[in-house]
Amino acid sequence: MFKPETSQTYEWLAQALAEFASGEVRIAKAASTQDGSWSFEGWSATHRVEGTEPDFSATSTWVEIIKAGRAFHRAVVHLRRPDCLDARHDWWARADRAAWGERPIQFYDEFAGIARRLQDVLEPLSAPQIVHGDLTGNVLFAPGMVPAVIDISPYWRPPEYADGIVVADALAWHGARPSLLDRVDVSVAAVARALLFRMATTTECVASGVEGVDVVGEAQRYASAAAAIGV
């Protein structure tokens, strides 16, 4: 797969995962040029992996996505934090920092009340490491093969946060039931942090001038997800 990508973070990730090996999960590794570079004239490429998207209406799908994510995180726990993460200033990076209280953010009125309730239930999570911060939609499945994790979005956060993002997406966008939390053993605090991240991402997106975002509709989804975790 080809995509426009030349960032320092991509270069680091491609090199860090070049020798990735796990019996529990596959990844779409970066493809290098003949001279060993990870990009060429503004483009990068990853090797194709076999698999298809799962049925997001099934609870078992979310269980398997989180299992795949946890397997990936176990396999990369040895990686050190790269300095290049500090150079990221895209919507998602800014939103992530805001969700963790590392930078201020002014939520839209539609989000503000939800955000305050979510902030009230935040708790410390485990030690940070490299995690995939967007597993939803980026885990493929194929018969007779372990899951494949693709399009890795690296963050230096607790792995429970990555789990929480999956659960938050399931609740807000895919109609998952509240019982999913117990099924996958993800804490309310992790999902709350993830919902703050998703709302912050929308806030950053709209503030950057992107039009056509249904803030009211998204607020309703996130309020419903917050209610599902008892917030």
Domains of the chain in sequence order: 58-228 (3.90.1200.10)
Given a cut of 90, whether residue 31 has pLDDT beyond it is no
The pLDDT-based confidence of 41 (bands split at 50, 70, 90) is: low
Q: Which two tokens stand for residue 210?
A: 């992107």
**The pLDDT of residue 36:** 62
Residues in the chain: 231
More confident residue, 31 or 194: 194
Mean pLDDT value of segment 102-122: 96
The pLDDT-based confidence of 70 (bands split at 50, 70, 90) is: very high
The pLDDT-based confidence of 85 (bands split at 50, 70, 90) is: very high
**The pLDDT of residue 45:** 75
Q: Report the predicted TM-score, pTM, of the whole model to 2 decimal places.
A: 0.94
